[in-house]
Structure 1
Amino acid sequence: MSDNESLLNDVANGDKIALQRLYTVVFPKIHSFVLKNKGKQEDAEDVFQKALMQIIARYKVKGLSIESSFEAFLFTACRNLWRRELNKRKKVVTNQEVVELYNEAEDMTAATLEQEKWELFQEKLLELSENCKTLLKLFFKKTPYKDIVKQLRYNSDNVVRQRIFNCKSQLTKMITNDVRFKHLKEL
């Protein structure tokens, strides 16, 4: 059993030492991320707990394979949950006379689905050529085309645009051809 599998199994079974390790190692990073992104202490605690519950539920229901470190996986799940929460807050209109309904189970299901989509995207991104991975990472970081031209020594912005388009097309095709995509799309 790998370290990831062992830690995941320990956490899923409520091992206090494993949980304490996560609180010591990962929670400070989550706390810092949430505070830097319009959150409070309570928000960080909520996100951390929700992500742990989500991961444990997925592990117990259908198994879970983690390619990166468990700590990195947990941080990514927390980050995605917090971003989702921020987006949800933008859309909420508060009216004192209206009682808003909130369905925790529905929210957790949506967050889990979002995490599975992110994992599929990450997996397929890693299957691309090194050149495509580098180009798309720069593109996703919103690096200007002129900087990409200089950094990767392409001839022009047009060459970079064309190459990014081709890499995105490859990535999209790889994702849509995966059987998990069809399942995630139907949910």
Structure 2
Amino acid sequence: MQMDTSATLRQALLTHREQTLTRLYQRTFPLVRRYVQQHGGSASDAKDVFQDAMVVFYEKATAESFALTSSVSTYLVGISRNLWRRELTRRQQLPATSLGAEHEQAVAEDVGPGADERESLPVFDYVAQLGERCKNMLLAFYYFQQPLEQIASSLHYGSIRSATVQKFKCLERLRKSVRAVVAEALAHH
């Protein structure tokens, strides 16, 4: 099963999801684990980062507009590195409101395509299952790229901090549901 072009990769993900995810995992996870461990993380951290990267990758790769400009492994390692750098920043316990616009932009670029594409994305199905409040939170932040101040106000959170905590909880629930699908796919091989 060749995955040299965006179209063949997309087709492989849509028609042979388990096989494709398994191959990507086997080929790329060791590289991600090495990177995370060399940069202060554990094997468990690497697994979390890689699963999150797979979520981002799967969402992007199954979108019609996806264009692969490097190898799949290089692309996945790149996403993983960005996610791990962000996690290290978060662990330094910076208040969420002190994160600059550049950081917020990086999150938005890594996580989501434009709002007009979201209906066709498999990950959107998982977001929809989270319930109205989580769905609105994640769409506002990642797809519409609204600042947390605006989200806190429009979704009636008491503070930016409580909106940040809720966003984190919603993202965790989304990750768990997608991880379950990835884990199920990998368990069969």
Shorter-chain TM-score bucket reads 0.3 to 0.5
Say which structure, 1 or 2, has more relative contact order (CA 8 Å, 6+ apart).
2
